[in-house]
Amino acid sequence: MGREDPAHEANLAWSEEGVPFAPDYDDVYYSRSGLEQGDLVFVQGSDLPARLGRGEAVTILETGLGLGVNLLAAVRALAEVGAGTLSHASIELHPLPPATMNEVHRRLGRGDEATEAFLIAYPELLEEGEAALRLGDHVVPMRLVIGDGAAALREFDLRADAVFLDGFAPARNPGLWSPEVYAELARLARPGATLATYTAAGAVRAGLDRAGFEVERREGFGLKRHRLVGWRRADG
């Protein structure tokens, strides 16, 4: 699943505002309020605190590991609630080398226990495609497929409880926002699984609906007026 490949290595730069930037996609890795974005859009958008508080075992499927921001937001929610379990599966076409991943988090001033646990586990995740993030009494199994869009998602055989539809903007990275990707997400999501994404583009809403997801717009985050939340229809 994993295996670091220089041909796929991320090309990371820094914007004038001090935000990690992907020149190949002309887009930032996240907004200047990235940590808050990950919590509101994905963790709260998936109702994770309440679900974990009920003792649920939640498997997250994410379309783009990136800097691990959304994964870390979920792990922090797990640690705060102190109940339930998490596992995480993601795809990533351009993974950061471990040294770069460390540098980015250090430069952004992140040194909390969740980040440290992720940085310890990340090299194994990148090399082997599987690793465990250990934070206190919590163990979060992680899986990673290095590849693009639907082809990478086909490597998984799982039943996701929450889908984080992330990645660069649809107009700048259409490979992650295609009918084939939506179909794979529907295949991997159990009936009732939640879906959360930062975008609210009409084409995304329509594509997810056709694939079997019920979606609705919610108030956005930062400069975004709207975002989407949804769930996998049982009859999709």
Burial class (CB in 10 A: 0-12, 13-18, 19+), 27: middle
What's the CA gap between 85 and 38, in Å, rounded? 19
DSSP, collapsed to helix, strand or coil, labels residue 165 as: strand
Going along the chain from its start, the domains and CATH numbers come out as: 32-232 (3.40.50.150)
The answer to whether residues 34 and 68 touch, using CB atoms and an 8 Å cutoff, is: no
The answer to whether residues 39 and 78 touch, using CB atoms and an 8 Å cutoff, is: no
Q: What is the largest CA-CA distance in the chain?
A: 47
Cβ partners under 8 Å of residue 110, min gap 6: none
Cβ partners under 8 Å of residue 207, min gap 6: 177, 178, 179, 182
In sign, the C-alpha dihedral spanning 207, 169, 156, 160 is: negative
Amino acid 23: pLDDT: 61
Give the mean pLDDT of 193-206.
Answer: 92
For residue range 45-98, list pLDDT tens digits in order.
999 999 999 999 999 999 999 889 999 999 999 999 999 999 999 999 889 999
Give the mean pLDDT of 18-47.
Answer: 70
* pLDDT band, very low/low/confident/very high, at 235 (cuts 50, 70, 90): confident
Residue with the larger pLDDT of the pair 80 and 4: 80
Cα of 180 vs its chain's centroid, Å? 18
Give the mean pLDDT of 104-111.
Answer: 79
Amino acid 54: pLDDT: 97
| pLDDT of residue 12 exceeding 80 | no
For residue range 137-173, list pLDDT tens digits in order.
999 999 999 998 999 999 999 999 999 998 656 766 7
Q: Residue 197's closest CA among 176, 172, 183?
A: 176
Residue with the larger pLDDT of the pair 33 and 211: 211
Place of tokens 């717009």: 217
Amino acid 7: pLDDT: 44
Report field, pTM of the whole predicted structure over 0.85: yes
Give the 3-state DSSP-derived string for 61-91, with helices as H, strands as E and coil as C: EEECCCCCHHHHHHHHHHHHHCCCEEEEEEE
